[in-house]
Structure 1
C-alpha cells in the first residue's frame, strides 16, 4: 500500500481547519500522516490543531511562535515528508472522498509519473463542505510528458489545474526542491514547472479536491485584478527559465513562447474586460503589447483555439453582457 504525507499550512483559518484535516483522515488509504504547520495564528487555530492531534496519532503539529511567512511552512513540509507521496493542502481547502486512493493507484501503476492532478469543486465563504457526487474509482487518465506539460504552459501562459488536487511523488519533490520566496504569488506555478522536469504528468478526469473562495484567500486580490496575476505568472516563467529550465533543449525558444503566451492571455483578458466595462482593460492591452508587440497589429486568434475552455468562457461572458 502506498503511503502519503499531507502538509496543511495554516494562518488564522481555525474555522476551516477541522473540516480540512478530516477530509484527509477519512480517505480510504492506510498510511497517511498529516502535518499542520501553524504560522503563529491569532485565532483559535492552535487549540483546534492540538485537539485534532490529541484525537488522532496520524496528526502532527508544527506550531510556530512567530510568523515566518508561507514559504517557510511549505518548505518545512517538504523537508518533513518521507512517505511515497506528498500533498500540500491549504487549510481552507479539502479533499473529496477517494481522492488519495485514485491518485496513488494511478501513480503506483506508472512509476514514471512525477505528479498527478484532477478537477476541483468550488465553494464560497464559510459554508460547510457539500455532499460531493461519488467519483469513479478508476477515472480516465491523460498522460503528458513533462516537456509537453511545460510546452502547454508556454502556449497558454497559464495553468488550468487546481493546486489542492496535486499529488506529488515525494522523490520527485525532493529533487525539485523548495518553493522560492522570491515568487510570493506564483511560487506554485514555478514549482510545477520544475516538477515536470522529473517525470510524466497525469491528469485525472474526476473531481479530486475542493477550493474555498473567501475574502482572506491569499489569491483573492490577484484574481480580482487580473493584471497582477498575469504579471506574477510572467515572473514564474522567467524564474523557471533562468534557473532549472535553462538546461532544457530549446529553452530560449520556450521562454519566448511563454512570454508570447502570457501576452496573448493578457490581450484576451483585456477584450473580456472591455465587454464587461472594466477599466483595467487598457492596462492589460498595454501589457500585451509590451510583451508581444505583434498583438497590437494582429489579434492572437490562435490562442483561443488552444484553450479548452474558450467556448464555455465565451458563452458565460456573452450571457453577462446580454443581461
Structure 2
C-alpha cells in the first residue's frame, strides 16, 4: 500500500501535465503514487499521461469516457481508487516544489490536513514568493469563516479525515466547501509557513472568469457549509443576525485566539476585499 496518493484531475492539460507530474515524482517518497484522471480531454493529455506512466510505475492513469465530469468528481474518483494512508492534491497546471513532502510524517503527527502557501507565476505576472504567515489549528476554522486561505494544490490529508469517493461536492470553489465542512466537523487543519507548490495563473482558469465571485457567493452548498462553520464557532445562524453583528462577534473570536501571531494574521484577513463572501 502506498503511503501517499497524489490525485491530479486533468482536462486539456497536455501543455502542463508533464511538468506537474515530473515535479511531483521528484518530491515524493518512493512508496507513493500519482493518480491522473483524463477528464474527456480533446488535446494530447491522454498521450502525455500514458507516456509518464510508461516511464514511472508510480503513475497510474484513469480515463473518462464521454463527457467532462469536472475536477471535484474526478478527485473523488481517484480518492476512491486509492488506499494510501495520505491523500495529496495537485492541479494539472501547477508545479510541485522539491520540499513539499519533506518531513511530512512529523508535520502530520497531530493533524488531519496540512496546507502551505503557494508561489505564483504565469499570465504575465512577476514571480511572487509569499512571506511566511502560518495559521495554527486553533485559528484555521475562524480564518475559513472569513475567507479561504488554503490553496487546493497544497493539500495533504489523512485518508480517514476525508469521505472517500464522496469527499468533494461538485460546484464552484468545491475546495473551500470541503475545508469549511471539515473544519466544522472538528478536523485539525494547519497552514504551514513555507510554500511548497508553484501555482500557475492563466486566462482559462475558473477563478479568472468574471462570473466566478458571484457564483461562489450564491452557491447553496457553500452557504450551507459557511453557516455550519459559523455555528460551530459559536456564532448564531447567519440568516438570523445582521452583517454588523457577525463582524462584531468575529472580532471577539479573533481577540480570544491564544496566539498573538494568529490574532494578527486572522485580523488581516478581515481587511481583504474578498473577505466574508457569503454575507447577505
Q: TM-score, normalised by structure 2?
A: 0.76
Across the aligned residues of Structure 1 and Structure 2, the Cα RMSD in angstroms comes to: 3.7
Task: Report deviation, 1:195.
Answer: 2.1
Show the counterpart of 1:150. Answer: 141
In the alignment, is residue 201 of structure 1 matched against residue 201 of structure 2? no
Deviations 1:242-265 (A, max 9, x none): 7x7598474x6164599849x98x
Match of 1:179 in 2: 168
Give the one of 240, 245, 248 matched to 2:225.
240
Write the deviation string for residues 110-158 of structure 1: whole angstroms up to 9, x where unpaired: 2xx110111100111499xx8x99xxxxx9964314xx4222222x2x1
Pairing 1:226-237 to 2, within 5 Å after superposition: 227-228=213-214, 231-232=217-218, 235-237=220-222
Change (3 A) 1:63 1:177: closer
Provide the rounded CA distance (Å) in 1 between the counterparts of 2:191 and 2:266: 20
- Give the aligned partner of residue 33 of structure 1: 33
Matched, 1:124 2:122: yes
Measure, in 2, the Cα distance between the counterparts of 1:86 and 1:35: 10
Say if 1:8 and 1:35, in contact at 8 Å, map to a contact too: yes
Q: Once the 2 structures are TM-superposed, how far is the Cα of residue 199 of structure 1 from its aligned partner?
A: 2.3
The answer to whether the Cα contact below 8 Å between 2:173 and 2:216 also exists between their aligned partners in 1 is no
The CA distance in 1 between the partners of 2:217 and 2:52, in whole Å, is 39
Map 1:1-323 to 2 at 5 A: 3-70=3-70, 71-107=72-108, 109-110=109-110, 113-125=111-123, 142-145=135-138, 148-154=139-145, 156=146, 158-174=147-163, 177-181=166-170, 184-196=171-183, 197-221=185-209, 224=210, 227-228=213-214, 231-232=217-218, 235-240=220-225, 248=232, 250=234, 253=236, 255=238, 260=243, 306-308=267-269, 310=271
Distance 1:74 1:59, change over 3 A: same
SS in 1 for 2:107: helix
* Cα distance change of structure 1 residues 247 and 167 upon mapping to structure 2, 3 Å threshold: same
Q: Which has the higher contact order (CA 8 A, sep 6+)?
A: 2
Return the alpha-carbon distance in structure 2 between the equivalents of residues 106 and 2 of structure 1. Answer: 18
Q: Structure 1's 52 and 2: CA in aligned 2 closer, same or farther, altered over 3 A?
A: closer
For residue 307 of structure 1, give the secondary structure of its aligned residue in structure 2.
helix
- Between the aligned partners of 2:63 and 2:113, the Cα distance in structure 1 is 28
Name the CA distance, whole Å, in 2 between partners of 1:60 and 1:51. Answer: 11
Moved over 6 A (4+): none
Structure 1 match to 2:261: none
Larger helix share, 1 or 2: 1
